[in-house]
Amino acid sequence: MTALRRQHSLLIIAGVLLVAIALLAVANLWFLQKLHGKSLHDSAAHSVLVMGSDLARSLVNHPVVLSGRDDPRQWAEFARIVQALKSVEPSLQYVTVNEGGVTVFHEDTAQTNAGSANTGDSQGVRIGRELLALPEGELPVITFSANTPEGAGDVRMVQIALRKEAVQQREEQAARMLAIMFRLALITLSVALSLAVVLTIWVVRHEMERQRRRRDEEHLAFAGLLADGIIHDVRNPMSSLRLDMQMLEKEAGKGREARLERMAELALRARATMDRMDLVMREFLYVSKPNSRQPEPFEVNDCIMDCLTLLSPRFEQAGIKLDAELGNEPLKMIGYSVGLKRAILNVLTNAKQVSSPGKRVLITLKRVGNEAIIMVEDEGPGLGKDDSLRLFEMFVSGRPDGIGLGLYLAKAAVENNKGSIRAENRVEGGARFTISLPLL
Domains contained in the chain, CATH given: 2-173 (3.30.450), 294-438 (3.30.565.10)
The predicted pLDDT at position 264 comes to 87
Q: Which residues contact 93 (CB under 8 A, 6 or more apart)?
A: 108, 110, 132, 139, 141, 160, 161, 162, 163
The predicted pLDDT at position 110 comes to 44
Average pLDDT rounded to a whole number, residues 107-129: 60
Average pLDDT rounded to a whole number, residues 384-409: 68
Q: Which of 84-98, 299-313, 396-410 has the highest mean pLDDT?
A: 299-313
Average pLDDT rounded to a whole number, residues 390-406: 65
SS3 224: helix
Average pLDDT rounded to a whole number, residues 162-181: 74
Q: Assess whether pLDDT exceeds 90 at residue 225.
A: no
Q: Assess whether pLDDT exceeds 60 at residue 382.
A: yes
**Cα-based distances in Å from 205 to 18, 83, 93, 210:** 17, 70, 68, 8
Number of other residues whose CB lies within 10 A of the CB of residue 417: 21
Give the tens place of pLDDT for each residue, 16-75. 777 777 777 777 767 776 666 666 667 777 777 888 888 888 888 887 777 766 778 888
Q: Which residues contact 180 (CB under 8 A, 6 or more apart)?
A: none
- Give the dihedral of Cα atoms 206, 208, 210, 214; nearest 10 deg: 180
Residue 162 contacts residue 92 (beta carbons within 8 Å): yes
The predicted pLDDT at position 31 comes to 73
The predicted pLDDT at position 48 comes to 77
Structural element, H or E, at residue 411? helix 406-416
The predicted pLDDT at position 117 comes to 52
Average pLDDT rounded to a whole number, residues 220-230: 62
Which residues share a beta bridge with 320? Answer: none
The predicted pLDDT at position 321 comes to 94
Give the tens place of pLDDT for each residue, 246-293. 888 888 888 888 888 888 888 888 888 887 777 667 656 645 554 446
Give the tens place of pLDDT for each residue, 346-364. 899 889 988 999 999 999 9
Average pLDDT rounded to a whole number, residues 395-422: 77
Rounded distance between C-alpha atoms, residue 354 and residue 28, angstroms: 75
Alpha helices in 159-259 (DSSP H): 165-252
Q: CA 289: distance to chain centroid?
A: 32
Average pLDDT rounded to a whole number, residues 281-310: 74
Range with lowest mean pLDDT among 9-13, 76-80, 113-117, 194-198: 113-117
In the chain, what are the helix, strand and coil shares in percent, each to the nearest 5?
Answer: 60, 20, 20
The predicted pLDDT at position 224 comes to 65
